[in-house]
Amino acid sequence: MNKILKNFYKNFWVPVMGRFISKFIPLIEGNPPKNNPTYDIDGDKK
C-alpha cells in the first residue's frame, strides 16, 4: 500500500499539482520565475 501511494505521489500528484500551482507563482511573487520548475522530488533526473 505504501509503495502504491508513493508512486501516486511521485508520478501524479507532484507533477499535476506542481503545474497547477506554478500558474500562481507570478501572482504570489509578483514576477515570473527565472527557471522552470522541474518536479523532480528525488533528484533522479539530473
In the predicted model, is pLDDT for residue 42 greater than 80? no
pLDDT for the residue 15: 87
The residue behind cell 528525488 is 42
* pLDDT, tens only, 2-17: 999 999 998 899 889 9
* pLDDT, tens only, 28-38: 889 988 888 77
pLDDT for the residue 5: 94
Sign, CA dihedral 18-20-23-27, equals: negative
Is 0.85 topped by the overall pTM? no
15-22's contacts with Cβ under 8 Å and 24+ in sequence apart are 15/39
Using alpha carbons, select from 10, 3, 9, 2 the residue that is nearest to residue 44: 10
